[in-house]
């Protein structure tokens, strides 16, 4: 990233460099990154922080730390994916982190433009819905481990595989009832190891539209799984993505 930063933007980078280092250090530990590759992780975190400083607009009304965190995390995760630094045993954890971060980044951007909650109860309800949506992301990531698909497109329909596993039938049914584009996006990102950007490209969508569509699909799945299970959070009580 070669864009020259204004003094105010430079000050943001300087003030929050600790945040970038913290995100990078946690990623190295979480994914067991070997010592010789850790410098790349810290570099990608710094790039994410710089991008956040460039894009941040104070008048949007949200804290820079929150805005920056998701972009730093996204930069680190994108770099790990591109450089294939992860072992197969970390696949489910990494997938969950990538898609949860993408979902939360999109929701954070949307919430900045949405009307403020009219009451404390409404604000709590919005947060609870986002927590439940992230729980759904975790649940679907668990199913990725169950079907154990190879990372290519020439494989059996993932929903067909899920339907053959008794514990997974509710998730397969919920995904199968999504609108076609949402269903295809879920298949590409969760079961065929595509990034949101690459999945969107395959569907003729920009990254921003693909991110919105992913959030929309997850919210739809949460409502369907809440109906099936009675409580969305309870669907992941037995899930272990570590």
Q: What is the pLDDT of residues 66-114, one digit of tens each?
A: 889 999 999 999 998 888 777 666 777 888 899 999 898 888 777 767 7
CATH code of 5's domain: 1.10.1740.10
Residue 157 pLDDT grade (very low, low, confident, very high; cuts 50, 70, 90): low
Question: Does residue 122 share a domain with residue 12?
Answer: no
CB 142 within 8 A of CB 133: no
- The SS3 call for residue 2 is coil
Helices 207-229 & 91-113 angle (0-180, nearest 10): 100
Kindly write down the DSSP assignment for every residue of 24-68, as one continuous string. Answer: HHHHHHHTT--GGGHHHHHHHHHHHHHHHHHH--GGG-S-HHHHH
What global pTM score does this model have?
Answer: 0.71
Task: Give the domain range for residue 194.
Answer: 114-242
> What tokens were used for 75?
């930069």
- 169 inside domain: yes
Non-local (6+) Cβ contacts of 64 within 8 A are 12, 16, 52, 53, 56, 58
CATH code of 242's domain: 1.20.140
Nearest partner of 209 among 136, 132, 110, judged by Cα:
110
Dihedral of alpha carbons 213, 219, 224, 225, sign:
positive
Q: What are the C-alpha distances in Å from 92 to residues 28, 41, 131, 144?
A: 16, 20, 19, 7
Question: Does residue 76 share a domain with residue 118?
Answer: no
Question: Does residue 227 share a domain with residue 159?
Answer: yes
Q: What is the pLDDT of residues 116-143, one digit of tens each?
A: 778 888 888 878 888 888 888 888 887 7
Q: What are the C-alpha distances in Å from 115 to residues 65, 111, 126, 133, 213?
A: 21, 8, 12, 20, 21
Question: Does residue 72 share a domain with residue 133?
Answer: no
Question: Does residue 13 share a domain with residue 55?
Answer: yes
CB 51 within 8 A of CB 12: no
Number of domains in the chain: 2
> What tokens were used for 65?
């730390």
Question: Does residue 42 share a domain with residue 159?
Answer: no
Picking from 69, 86, 103, the residue at the C-terminal end of a domain is 86
Kindly write down the DSSP assignment for every residue of 139-165, as one continuous string. Answer: HHHHHHHHHT--SSSSS--HHHHHHTS
> What tokens were used for 181?
């584009």
Mean pLDDT of 172-200: 90
The two most distant CA atoms of the chain are separated, in Å, by 58
Question: Does residue 231 share a domain with residue 118?
Answer: yes
């Amino acid at each position: 990233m070669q864009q020259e930063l204004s003094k105010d933007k430079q000050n943001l980078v300087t003030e929050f460099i600790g945040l970038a280092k913290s995100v990078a250090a946690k990623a190295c530990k979480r994914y067991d990154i070997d010592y010789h590759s850790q410098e790349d992780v810290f570099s990608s975190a710094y790039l994410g922080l710089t991008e956040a400083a460039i894009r941040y607009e104070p008048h949007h009304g949200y804290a820079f730390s929150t805005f920056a965190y998701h972009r730093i995390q996204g930069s680190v995760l994108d770099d790990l994916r591109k450089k294939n630094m992860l072992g197969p045993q970390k696949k489910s954890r990494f997938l969950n982190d990538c898609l949860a971060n993408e979902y939360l980044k999109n929701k954070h951007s949307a919430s900045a433009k949405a009307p403020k909650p009219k009451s404390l109860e409404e604000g709590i309800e919005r947060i609870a819905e986002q927590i439940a949506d992230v729980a759904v992301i975790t649940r679907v990531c668990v199913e990725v481990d169950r079907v154990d698909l190879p990372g290519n497109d020439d494989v059996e329909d993932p929903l067909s595989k899920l339907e053959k596993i008794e514990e997974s039938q509710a998730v397969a049914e919920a995904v199968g009832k999504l609108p076609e584009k949402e269903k295809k996006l879920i298949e590409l990102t969760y079961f065929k190891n595509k990034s949101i950007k690459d999945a969107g490209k395959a569907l003729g969508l920009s990254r921003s539209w693909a991110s919105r569509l992913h959030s929309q699909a997850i919210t739809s799945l949460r409502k369907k799984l809440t109906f099936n299970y009675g409580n969305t959070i309870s669907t992941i009580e037995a899930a272990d993505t570590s």
